[in-house]
Amino acid sequence: MTRNAALAELQNSLHVSHGQVFSYLACGLKYRFQYVERRPPERLSISLPFGKAIHASLERYYLSLQQGITEPLDILEDLFAEQLAGEIQATDVPVIFKKETQDLGSAITMGRNMLKVFHEEVDLGDAEVVAVELPLSATLYSGEARATEYQLVGVIDLLLRDGQGNLIVTDHKTAAQQKSQSAVDDDLQLTAYSYLLTAGGHAPALSNTRCRMDVLRKLKTPKFERYDTIRTARDRRRFAKIAEGALAGIDARIFVPTRGWLCSDCAHRRACEAW
C-alpha cells in the first residue's frame, strides 16, 4: 500500500490525532471553529507553510539516505523555495509574516540558511533510516485500558534504528526560541508517537521508546539542535487519559476560549472576538 493510500485509509476511520487533541487543549473555541464548524481561515501564519516546506526538504533528504545517497544541498534549497512560494501564492487569505521572516524573499533566505546548517551538521551516527513520514494508527484506549471507538492516527516524521536495534522516533521542528529539556520531556506529540508504535504492535507494549526532537532554529545565524528523551508505559497511559478527557469535552460540546501565546497567530481571531 502506498503512503497516500495508507493516509486515506486512516482518515476514513473514526479517528483523532495528536493535533486535534493539542488544538482542543490549547483553545476549545479554536477547535470548534476549525474542526466542528470547519470555518475557512481568516489569515495564515507564515510559520505553517514555512514549516511544511522545511519538512518536505528533510523528507527528501532522509528518503535519499534510504537509497544510499545524500541529496545535494541545492536540491533541498530549491525544493524548499518552490514549495513555500507555491503555498503562499495558492492561498487567498492574508499571510502573517514575522520579525525573522518579514516577506517571502526573507523567508526563503532564512529557509535556505537553515537547510545549509542542517546539511552540514546532521549526523545519524550508527543509526539507519527505517521509515520517513510513516503513517500509523492504533486503537485509543482509556486510562483504565478500555478500548474506545476511536483510532489514534499520526504520521511520524522519521523512524530510525540504532546499532543496538532500538527504534528512535524523531520529530522535526522549526522554532525561533530554544527548547528546554523539560518541554521536550513533556511534549505530547512524542508521547502520541510512542503510543502508536507500542499499541500498533511495532514495539513491545511495556517498553520504553527512545525519542528525539531535531530543531532548526530560525535565527540570523541558524542553529541545528537535538534533544533526546524517553517515553514510558506510564507516559502513554497518561496520554490516553488526556485524550479521553479531550474527547469527552468535545462530545459534550464544551468549547471554552483560552487566551495565550497562540492567539497572535490564530486563524480565527475575528470570529473569537465576535463570539
d(CA 208, CA 135) in angstroms, rounded, equals 20
Q: What is the residue range of 259's domain?
A: 18-269
Number of domains in the chain: 1
Residues of the chain with pLDDT under 70: 1-13
Does residue 5 belong to any structural domain of this protein? no
Pairwise CA distance, residues 273 & 245, whole Å = 26
HSE-up of residue 54 (Cα within 13 Å, Cβ side)? 30
10 lies in a domain?
Answer: no
pLDDT at site 12: 57
Q: Is 213 exposed, middle or buried (0-12, 13-18, 19+ CB in 10 A)?
A: buried
Kindly state whether residue 188 falls inside one of the protein's structural domains.
Answer: yes
CATH number of the domain encompassing residue 120: 3.90.320
Would you tell me the crossing angle of helices 73-90 and 47-66 to the nearest 10 degrees? 150
Q: % helix / strand / coil in the chain, to the nearest 5? A: 45, 25, 30
Does the residue 2 lie in any domain? no
Query: Would you give the DSSP letter of residue 220?
Result: S
> What pLDDT, on the 0 to 100 scale, is given for residue 6?
47
Question: Is residue 232 one of the residues assigned to a domain?
Answer: yes
For residues 41 and 92, give the distance between their C-alpha atoms in angstroms, rounded to a whole number: 10
